[in-house]
């Protein structure tokens, strides 16, 4: 009898393991909130011209998030926050780009396990393709990185624009995408659930000029009147945006191939599919490295039939720190890392609603480009994004938010080619780009004052934006008496969250010195 009971228990455990969902995380580099599912006739935007059938399918058959935000609008801290479920500043060296840390000093990140390894130890087959930007140990080492089938997707527009036979070149790239996934699946045991993270970087600078129109038929002129108001609506900047959207469409095409592979395996309906990105658009003012929506808002859709309601439209703000607790809850596992995020599953289940969500996102940053400022100092900022307001605390308003002007003065500046092709020649926290080069060239033109302020002007200690009146966050109302009570409430809420979680920024500006502050060479 005892043997029968033990066999039954083992059998039930095996069944439970088989019932646990696969997890497919499709995570683009530098991709903000851009997908055709976000097109809105009432709000003209670049989403009106992009086509993303893979993302749209996941959104239609699952949940679409209208207000998803990263913990930090910079690659390493964003990815580490997602993997741990913790506010970015709690992740030691991984709170900053390229995880700098003084050698020989204990790093708090060493004590963190992370979602991937919790899933591995819980019986999952885990793997990653393309960009990591964290220590390899966070995914269990190099053996769990699958990219030997090819990496051409990361240079998609450059590869395709040079190819004589473009359909064949595109097919080669998608064959590599499928091949990397097949290599991953080949090491999976029978009946073993998997966690696969797909992280292409083609949406990162630089992409081929004119590729949006040449490869995807995205006419820059169709963006006229649809650009974010923090950017000049001029032909070159519209073309730059169209090229970026083309790279987003390439990412979506790759996502579609992976989803189809899982569907052909007969496992799609027991797979959590997530499509998102690590922060906003690079090389554009108020984009990447900024806590405003243009820099920190990202696309997000999640599909898991039966557990997540179809056509679920989530309006409440969420943070990508919620993904780790969500995945672990679905797998029946718990994080040892004391995450700040919450599982989204109760709110997303059929009959669930936004009231089950936290309802706000904490966003911030420290060092991005290591040599962006004299002394390699960071630009410390924390923000609280609620459904109705964005509150921003700039801890060092005397510093340049986009990095030091370097070679830009009233009378001189680096050349257009330098600015378009080298990040560090001016305002290094804005990636090299034609847009950046155009702004520097035209910085003294009539009517450019507000755009220059948005791009690299110094900011006050506090910012407050009323989103109902100002969804693109162009008018700071922090000093207006009518908003004094709201300002105080959000300030207290943000500072309390920082204090409860021991933000090193509050501990005598710990990010301004070693072990966190480095020589800036990384």
Domains and CATH numbers, the chain: 19-100+107-364 (3.40.720.10), 365-512 (no CATH)
> Cα–Cα distance between 384 and 82 in angstroms, integer?
18
Q: Answer whether residue 370 shows pLDDT above 80.
A: yes
What gap in Å lies between CA 99 and CA 90, rounded to an integer?
13
Q: Establish how many alpha carbons lie within 13 A of residue 136's alpha carbon, considering only the half-sphere containing its beta carbon.
A: 8
CB 254 within 8 A of CB 265: no
pLDDT at res. 13: 37
pLDDT-based confidence at residue 520 (cuts at 50, 70, 90): very low
- Relative to beta strand 300-303, strand 271-277 is antiparallel
Could you give the percent of the chain with pLDDT greater than 90? 94
Arithmetic mean of pLDDT, 121-137? 97
Q: Quickly count: other Cβ atoms within 10 Å of residue 233's Cβ.
A: 14
Axis-axis angle for helices 166-186, 235-264 (nearest 10): 40
| 198 SS3 class | strand
The mean pLDDT value for 198-224 works out to 97
Query: What is the DSSP code string of 206-255?
Result: P--TTHHHHHH---GGGGTT-S-TTS---HHHHHHHHHHHHHHHHHHHHH
> Would you state the structure tokens that stand for residue 289, as one six-digit string?
């490295």
Q: How far apart are CA 295 and CA 390, in angstroms?
A: 13
**pLDDT (0 to 100) of residue 72:** 98
Contact 287, 38 (CB under 8 A): no
Q: What average pLDDT does the chain have?
A: 95
- Report the predicted TM-score, pTM, of the whole model to 2 decimal places: 0.95
């Amino acid at each position: 009898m005892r043997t029968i009971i033990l066999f039954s228990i083992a059998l039930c455990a095996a069944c439970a393991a088989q019932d646990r969902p696969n997890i497919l995380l499709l995570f683009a580099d530098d991709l903000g909130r851009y997908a055709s599912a976000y097109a809105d006739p009432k709000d003209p935007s670049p989403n009106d011209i992009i086509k993303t059938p893979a993302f749209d399918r996941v959104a239609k058959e699952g949940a679409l998030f209208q207000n998803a935000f990263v913990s930090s609008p910079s690659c390493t801290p964003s990815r580490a926050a997602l993997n741990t479920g913790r506010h970015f500043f709690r992740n030691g060296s991984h709170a900053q780009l390229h995880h700098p840390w003084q050698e020989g000093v204990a790093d708090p990140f060493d004590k963190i396990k992370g979602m991937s390894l919790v899933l591995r130890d819980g019986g999952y087959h885990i793997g990653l393709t393309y960009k990591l930007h964290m220590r390899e140990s966070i995914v269990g080492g190099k053996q769990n990185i699958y990219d030997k089938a090819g990496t051409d997707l990361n240079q998609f527009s450059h590869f395709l624009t040079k190819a004589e036979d473009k359909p064949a070149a595109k097919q080669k790239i998608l064959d590599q995408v499928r091949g990397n996934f097949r290599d991953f699946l080949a090491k999976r045991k029978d009946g073993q659930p998997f966690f696969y993270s797909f992280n292409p970087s083609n949406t990162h600078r630089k992409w081929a000029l004119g590729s949006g129109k040449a490869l995807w038929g995205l006419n820059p002129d169709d963006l006229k009147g649809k650009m974010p108001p923090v950017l000049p609506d001029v032909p070159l900047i519209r073309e730059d945006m169209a090229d970026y959207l083309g790279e987003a469409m390439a990412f979506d095409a790759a996502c579609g191939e992976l989803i189809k592979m899982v569907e052909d395996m007969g496992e799609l309906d027991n797979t959590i599919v997530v499509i998102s990105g690590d922060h906003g658009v690079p090389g554009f003012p108020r984009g990447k490295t900024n806590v405003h929506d243009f820099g920190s808002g990202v696309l997000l859709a999640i599909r898991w039939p039966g557990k997540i309601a179809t056509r679920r439209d989530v309006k409440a703000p969420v943070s990508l720190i919620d993904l780790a607790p969500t995945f672990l809850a679905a797998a029946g596992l718990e994080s040892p890392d004391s995450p700040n995020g919450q599982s989204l599953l109760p709110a997303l289940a059929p009959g669930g609603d936004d009231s089950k969500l936290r309802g706000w996102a904490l966003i911030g940053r420290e060092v991005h480009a290591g040599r962006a400022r004299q002394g390699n100092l960071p630009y410390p900022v924390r923000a609280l994004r609620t459904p109705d307001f964005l509150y921003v605390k700039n801890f060092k308003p005397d510093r340049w938010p986009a990095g030091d002007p370097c070679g830009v003065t009233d009378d001189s500046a680096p050349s257009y080619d330098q600015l378009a092709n080298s990040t560090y020649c001016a305002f290094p926290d804005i990636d090299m780009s034609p847009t950046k080069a155009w702004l520097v060239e035209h910085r003294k033109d009539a009517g450019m004052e507000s755009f220059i302020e948005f791009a690299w002007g110094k900011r006050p200690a506090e910012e407050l934006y009323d989103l109902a009146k100002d969804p693109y966050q162009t008018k700071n109302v922090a000093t207006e008496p009518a908003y004094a009570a709201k300002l105080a409430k959000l300030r207290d809420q943000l500072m309390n969250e920082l204090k409860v979680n021991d933000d090193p920024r509050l501990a005598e500006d710990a990010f301004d010195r070693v072990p966190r502050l480095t020589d800036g060479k990384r």
